[in-house]
A and B are shown apart, each in its own frame.
Chain A
Amino acid sequence: MTMAIHPVFVHFHTGILTANAAIALLNLIMRTVFRDRIRTPGTTMARLFHEFDTFILWGNIIGLLGLVAGVVTGFMDWPMQALIDDPYMRFKILWSAIALEIFVFLVVMRLKLGDRVWASTSSYLIYGILVVVGGVLMIILGAMGGIAVYSDSILKPVLDWLGLPWP
């Protein structure tokens, strides 16, 4: 009897990247609303902002590794033709590849720039928004995996309303 190993690899990184999106949203708000207090060393706000930034960095690194493992095991578990015939799987393949690109970009840029990634407006908006976009993608892809296995998901009405999966 063959065993599916993809399910073992999909839950942890989906969770951490979703949490990352929430923290990034919080950091974006803090960076915009409490800009002066964040820039003042020693304040609680500055410390919290720094902790969140570190959380996002490690979350992205761990999430990226998990996402790679999820993609590899996904292709190992099911024949390609079966995946392509299913609209949910087609959507997952396409947007997992794009999510991979986004998280590679986020990790590389954060490692290269350090916390200067939050310094200029154009830089932190790109970084923060892409962390949120990546997290939302993971939520959608996770829901589709759930639908493929259990025929239902708490997000199914939302996906139906959005007309997803497409194409």
Chain B
Amino acid sequence: MKRKQRANLIGVFLFVGIVMGLVPFAFTFPGNTNECNQCHTDLASLGLSTNATETVDIEVGVPFVVEFTADNGAEALAIGTDWEDNEQFLISDNLVEDGDGEDTDATEGVITTSVTFTPIAVGEFTIRAWAAANLGRAVSIDVTVNVTEGATTFTTPPPTTTTTPPPDPLIEIWTMMMYTLIPATAVILVILSVIMLRKAPKD
């Protein structure tokens, strides 16, 4: 094999190798539950309020209801399990979208919902909720809860059995396309480059 051919071959393999090596970077990090301000940057446009304006005093194991109202174009209200002290409570609904069954206000861009929290530990905790919308808008609100020992011993209920939802078939197709289409394009371009180099007139 001539030196020039060898150099070209190394170049081709290097190109395909880099392309193949970059593919895994486009893949998933399951369980990402970042708060909305990790992506949304306009934190002043939406409105979010609650009826729990003062510290809620409650006994462990006793459910209480907090009403949230998000407006000015809000599209979703979320109470992520990992945010602040939210994991210290059983939460009846982690995500309410504008117009869904849990949204009691029919006005578009306004979400009103009642969420039931059941404290599972004693202490002073902060519940955090976020409302979000397009154009990078989001706003958060905190509710302070003081949980004390109850008259009766509270036993944390066993975790509810959750079934993992089936993977979205479109995401599976996309993943397959990422693994096949990108390397296939690299191979096609390498073939086209050989054609162009062969057909080009010599200097």
In the complex the two chains form, is B181's CB within 8 Å of A94's CB?
yes
Knowing A97-B182, A98-B185 are in contact, say whether A167-B177 is a contact too (CB < 8 A): yes
Please encode chain A, from 87 to 122, with 1 for each CB lying within 8 Å of some chain B CB and 0 for all others: 100100110011001101100110011001101101
Residues of the A chain whose Cβ atoms lie less than 8 Å from the Cβ of B72: none
Q: Is the CB of A122 within 8 A of B196?
A: yes
| Contact present for B195 and A122 (CB under 8 Å) | yes
Known: A97-B182, A102-B189, A126-B195. A150 touches B135 (CB 8 A): yes
CB <8 Å contact, A79 and B29 = yes
Contact-residue size bin, chain A (C-beta under 8 Å from the other chain): 35 or more
Number of A-B contacts (CB under 8 A): 110
Whole-angstrom distance between the Cβ of B39 and the nearest chain A Cβ: 5
A80 at interface, CB cutoff 8 A? yes
Bound form: Cα–Cα A74–B28 in Å: 15
List, in ascending order, chain B residues with CB within 8 A of A84's CB.
Answer: 27-28, 171, 174
Determine which residue in A105, A109, A166 has the highest number of CB atoms from chain B within 10 A of its CB, and name it.
Answer: A105
SS of A interface (majority): helix
Say whether A1 contacts B43, CB under 8 Å: yes
Is A123 in contact with B200, judged by CB distance below 8 angstroms?
A: yes
The answer to the question of B5 belonging to the interface, with a C-beta cut-off of 8 Å to chain A, is no
A79 in complex: contacting residue of B39, B41, B43, B197, CB < 8 Å: B39
Of residues 167 to 185 in B, which have CB atoms within 8 Å of A's CB atoms? 170-171, 173-174, 177-178, 181-182, 185
Assembly CA distance A105 to B196 (angstroms): 11
Please give me the residue from chain A that is nearest to B26 by CB atom: A93
Q: Is the CB of A113 within 8 A of B197?
A: yes
In contact, B189 and A4 (Cβ under 8 angstroms): no
Contact check, B32 vs A79: say whether CB atoms are below 8 A apart.
Answer: yes
Contacts of B67-106 to chain A: CB distance below 8 A: none
Which chain B residues lie closer than 8 Å to A104 at the CB level? 15
Contacting pair B30 A81 (CB below 8 A): yes
B22, B174, B178, B182 — most chain A CB neighbours (10 Å): B174
**Interface residues, chain A, with chain B CB atoms under 8 Å away:** 1-4, 75, 77-82, 84-85, 87, 90, 93-94, 97-98, 101-102, 104-105, 108-109, 112-113, 116-117, 119-120, 122-123, 126-127, 130, 148-151, 166-167
Give 11 A-B contacts (CB < 8 Å), ordered by A residue. A79-B38, A81-B31, A82-B39, A90-B174, A97-B178, A102-B189, A104-B15, A116-B200, A123-B195, A167-B171, A167-B174
Nearest first, the 10 closest Cβ-Cβ pairs linking A and B are: A81-B32, A167-B173, A167-B170, A120-B199, A105-B189, A123-B196, A167-B174, A79-B32, A90-B174, A116-B200
Known: A94-B174, A122-B199. 5 other contacts (CB 8 A): A80-B32, A97-B178, A98-B182, A130-B192, A166-B170
